[in-house]
Amino acid sequence: MEQLMRNTLLYLSKNRAANNAAKKWGLRFGASRFVAGETIQSAIDAVRQLNKQGIVATLDHLGEFVFSEEEAIESAEYCIRTLDAIHESGVQSNLSLKMTQLGLDISKELCMNNMRRILDRAKQYGNFVRIDMEDYAHNEITMEIFKELRREYGETVGLVLQAYLYKVESDLDDLNQFKPNLRLVKGAYKESPEVAFPNKEDVDRNFIKIIEKHLLYGNYAAIATHDEKIIEHVKKFVKEHNIPNSQFEFQMLYGIRVQLQQQLAKEGYTMRVYIPYGTDWYGYFMRRLAERPANVAFVLKSMFKK
Ligand code: FDA
């Protein structure tokens, strides 16, 4: 039953009509629990609140599966304005973005041009831009884009790898030539068992495997999970192998496991919260519901509350 609900939510997350309608609705159905607001100012305010608690951030101007050149260029403009706002306000945050948001489905060239404009600005500010990993259909091309941009922009750019993919370990080995800063996650999209582990235990096992391998390679790891067992495992592992706290950080999503975020920051770990903002919240929100169908009850309650 839970699996059916999860699959339905992931299927709905790609519904373009609902996505377009949601842009006009404003933040509804409890989405404000997971999305900081619709404006840059609301996002900067959210970062400031977290910074006060010793937590850093990564801002994501929401957008994905963009199919027109104008939308892709507009989205890049938002990313640049976000970098400007971070710089001007002095808050501690970097930027996360998606390749489809910058026009990857229209052409790689358009996406690369948009990325170069964003990375030029990030480099100017000494900031950092992380490329989120999307569904499997975009995986190879995103890897390719990352490699090209890593050669051009060095440490200004980072990538995400997903532990649920069978190929993730060979991708990790391949990327090691760049000594990259990688965010490691379990993986959030609905994928076929031909490319991704269908069972959670296998995903968890592979997640730990790639975290350990990346750390032992001596590379910077952003360990993005709300899973306490994995977090505890990482804490022990870094101690046993004398890996300094400066070689990794924990990351969680805005509004999820807030107390754990605060606790890790208090313990002296770098804790970074991923803060999405903007009007294009629908796909992101549906994936968060799919991760934890118990959240659906929360959404239903908020729908019926005045
Ligand atoms: P898991 O799903 O096993 O959850 C562990 C526990 O965390 C749950 O028992 C619950 O208590 C809590 N929890 C998890 N999700 C919750 C939710 N939605 N609401 C409330 N509680 C929840 N994926 C991807 O494919 N590409 C990407 O680029 C990214 N980027 C990214 C950045 C950051 C900062 C994070 C934290 C995550 C991502 N992800 C992602 C999403 C990731 O792949 C994964 O889907 C989620 O993190 C959920 O998996 P967990 O590791 O938290 O474990």
DSSP for 18-37? HHHHHHHH-S-TTGGGTS--
Beta bridge partners of 129: 95, 157
Residue 21 has pLDDT above 70, yes or no: no
Taking the C-alpha atoms of residue 142 and residue 66, their distance in angstroms, rounded to an integer, is: 15
Residue 150, marked binder: no
Distance between terminal CA atoms of the chain?
Answer: 30
Q: Which residues are catalytic?
A: 132, 183
| Spatial distance between the Cα atoms of 153 and 125, rounded to a whole number of angstroms | 13
> What does the alpha-carbon distance between residue 135 and residue 158 come to, in Å, rounded to a whole number?
18
Whether 58 maps to a domain, the answer reads: yes
Q: Helix, strand or coil for residue 125?
A: helix
Which residues contact residue 137 at a Cβ distance below 8 angstroms, ignoring those fewer than 6 apart?
none
Percent of the chain with pLDDT over 90: 74
Residue 272 lies in a domain: yes
Calpha distance 26→38 (Å, rounded) = 8
The residue that leads in pLDDT, 27 or 152, is: 152
Is 44 part of a structural domain of the chain?
A: yes
Question: Is it the case that residue 19 has pLDDT exceeding 80?
Answer: no
**Residue 113 falls within a domain, yes or no?**
yes
290 Cα to the center of ligand 1, angstroms: 10
pTM of the model: 0.91
Please report the atom of ligand 1 found closest to the CA of residue 288. Answer: 18
Q: Is the CB of 160 under 6 A from ligand 1?
A: yes
pLDDT mean over 72-92: 97
Average pLDDT along the chain: 90
- Picking from 165-179, 248-262, 279-293, which range would have the lowest pLDDT averaged per residue? 279-293
What's the whole-number mean pLDDT along residues 275-289? 76
Count of structural domains within the chain: 1
In this prediction, residue 23 has a pLDDT band, given cuts at 50, 70 and 90, of low
82 labelled ligand-binding: no
Domain of residue 97: give its range: 35-280
Q: Which of 95, 171, 186 to mutate to test the pocket of ligand 1 (most atoms within 8 A of CB)?
A: 186
Q: What is the CATH number of the domain that holds 245?
A: 3.20.20.220
What confidence tens digit (pLDDT) does each residue in 232-243 have? Answer: 999 999 999 999
Q: Is 101 in the pocket of ligand 1 (CB under 6 A)?
A: no
Hey, which of 58-67, 112-121, 278-287 has the most confident mean pLDDT?
Answer: 112-121
pLDDT for residue 28: 59
Please tell me the predicted confidence (pLDDT) of residue 303. Answer: 47
80 lines ligand 1 (CB under 6 A): no
CA of 127 to the centre of ligand 1 (A): 25
Strand runs (DSSP E) across the chain, as ranges?
A: 56-61, 93-97, 129-131, 157-162, 182-185, 221-224, 248-253, 271-277
Residue type, 102: L
| Residue of 291, 299, 302 best suited for mutating to test ligand 1, as the one with most atoms within 8 Å of CB | 291
**6 CB under 6 A from ligand 1?**
no
Cβ atoms of 43 and 49 closer than 8 Å: no
C-beta of 100 in contact with ligand 1 (< 6 A): no
Residues 6 or more apart whose Cβ sits within 8 Å of residue 130: 58, 94, 95, 96, 97, 157, 158, 159, 160, 181, 183, 222
Count of residues for the chain?
A: 306
- Distances, alpha carbon 132 to alpha carbons 69, 120, 146, 196, 298, in Å: 20, 19, 11, 18, 27
Q: Which atom of ligand 1 is nearest to the CA of 225?
A: 51
pLDDT-derived band at 259 (thresholds 50, 70, 90) equals very high
State the pLDDT at residue 296. Answer: 62
Percent of the chain with pLDDT over 70: 85
**pLDDT reported for residue 306:** 37
Residue 83: exposure state from Cβ atoms within 10 A (0-12, 13-18, ≥19): buried
Cα of 186 from ligand 1 centre, angstroms: 7
- Separation of CA 1 and ligand 1 centre (Å): 20
CA torsion through residues 275, 277, 280, 282, sign: positive
184 lines ligand 1 (CB under 6 A): no
Is residue 13 one of the residues assigned to a domain? no
User: Whose structure tokens read 């390679």?
Assistant: 217
Distance 294 CA to ligand 1 centre (A): 14
User: Each residue of 39-57: pLDDT tens digit?
Assistant: 999 999 999 999 999 999 9
In a domain, 47, yes or no: yes
Residue 184 maps to a domain: yes
Which residues make Cβ contacts (< 8 Å) with residue 295, sequence separation at least 6? 288, 289
**pLDDT of 84-127, one tens digit each?**
999 999 999 999 999 999 999 999 999 999 999 999 999 999 99
Q: Is the CB of 225 under 6 A from ligand 1?
A: yes
Is the residue at 137 inside a domain? yes
Query: 12: how many CB neighbours lie within 10 A of its CB?
Result: 15
Which atom of ligand 1 is nearest the CA belonging to 130? 28
Reply yes or no on whether the pLDDT at 1 is more than 70: no
Q: Which of 59-63, 158-162, 277-281 has the lowest mean pLDDT?
A: 277-281
In this structure, which residue's CA is closest to atom 5 in ligand 1? Answer: 227
Which structure tokens are listed for 35?
Answer: 């999305």
How many Å lie between the centroid of ligand 1 and the Cα of residue 291? 7
Highest mean pLDDT among 8-12, 65-69, 111-115, 274-278: 111-115
Q: Is 187 annotated as a binding residue?
A: yes
